[in-house]
């Protein structure tokens, strides 16, 4: 899992990811998720560790785009424990990624429903007085973008997932990932420009 401190450096390299750039196709006779889910359901619970390793960065990114950073790690653990308990309800083992991504999104909404007042105050303070660390500032800006762009950018720049990985793990189409990244990066750069101008005006 790549830390947020790498975000600023990765943003500099986004020029190479164009909206029209094709994503490499991943073709498998049977997705590895299918075999892993089947094994877990047959009682080989240790195989769930592999699913965790494959999908923890994606779940972490989905949450990081939505809830306070200090809450993310505990929520990741809760989500995978819940997924293990409910794995028998998954109708299509190949859809494990989109399934657990939806669990993560729902868990984030539950978090806000249970602690709305505290979170709103905390986030408002962060907006009025942003942290001084560049990577932290960029993450804060990403989290203020529209939800579709926010999640994809966090998965790309904070979790270090490639475009094809994002598409494969979340169930989004490669075209949607390309569009989200292209438009999201454009909006983020605009916000970064506004932030820089504001900083320069205050000097």
- Compute the average pLDDT of residues 154-178: 89
pLDDT exceeding 90 applies to what percent of the chain?
A: 41
Contact status, residue 58 vs residue 170, Cβ threshold 8 Å: yes
Q: Is residue 7, in this structure, part of any structural domain at all?
A: no
pLDDT band with cut points at 50, 70 and 90 for residue 191: confident
Q: Is residue 34, in this structure, part of any structural domain at all?
A: yes
Q: Is residue 12, in this structure, part of any structural domain at all?
A: no
pLDDT score of 86 = 95
Q: Is residue 15, in this structure, part of any structural domain at all?
A: no
Q: Is residue 150, in this structure, part of any structural domain at all?
A: yes
Instruction: Name the strand (E) or helix (H) holding 84.
Output: helix 69-86
pLDDT score of 1 = 44
Counted domains in the chain:
1
pLDDT score of 70 = 85
Who has greater pLDDT, 76 or 68?
A: 76
Q: Measure Cα distances from 5 to 136, 138, 178 in Å.
A: 7, 10, 24
Residue 190 pLDDT > 90, yes or no? Answer: no
Q: Measure Cα distances from 105 to 15, 59, 71, 198 in Å.
A: 29, 9, 14, 33
In this prediction the pTM is 0.64
Q: Is residue 190, in this structure, part of any structural domain at all?
A: yes
Q: Is residue 4, in this structure, part of any structural domain at all?
A: no
- Sequence-ordered alpha helix ranges (H) in 143-173: 147-153, 163-170
CATH number for the domain including 48?
A: 1.10.1740.10
pLDDT score of 30 = 82
pLDDT tens-place string over residues 28-45: 468 899 999 999 999 999
pLDDT score of 11 = 36
Q: Is residue 8, in this structure, part of any structural domain at all?
A: no
Contact status, residue 49 vs residue 5, Cβ threshold 8 Å: no
Query: Which residue range is the domain that position 107 belongs to?
Result: 26-201
The residue count for the chain: 203
pLDDT tens-place string over residues 72-115: 999 999 999 999 999 999 999 999 999 999 999 999 888 877 65
């Amino acid at each position: 899992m790549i830390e947020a401190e790498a975000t600023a450096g990765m943003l500099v390299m986004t020029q190479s990811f164009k909206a029209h750039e094709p994503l490499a196709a991943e073709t498998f006779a049977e997705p590895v998720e299918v075999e892993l889910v089947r094994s877990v359901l047959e009682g080989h619970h240790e195989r769930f560790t592999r699913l965790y390793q494959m999908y923890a960065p994606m779940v972490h990114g989905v949450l990081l785009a939505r809830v306070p950073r200090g809450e993310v790690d505990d929520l990741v653990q809760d989500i995978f424990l819940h997924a293990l308990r409910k794995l028998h309800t998954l109708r299509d083992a190949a859809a494990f990624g989109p399934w657990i991504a939806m669990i993560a999104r729902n868990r984030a909404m539950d978090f806000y429903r249970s602690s709305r007042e505290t979170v709103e105050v905390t986030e408002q303070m962060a907006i009025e007085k942003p942290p001084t660390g560049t990577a932290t500032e960029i993450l804060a800006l990403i989290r203020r973008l529209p939800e579709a762009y926010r999640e994809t950018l966090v998965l790309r720049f904070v979790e270090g997932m490639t475009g094809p990985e994002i598409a494969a793990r979340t169930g989004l189409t490669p075209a949607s990932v390309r569009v989200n990244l292209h438009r999201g990066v454009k909006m983020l750069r605009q916000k970064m420009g506004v932030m820089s101008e504001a900083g320069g005006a205050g000097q």
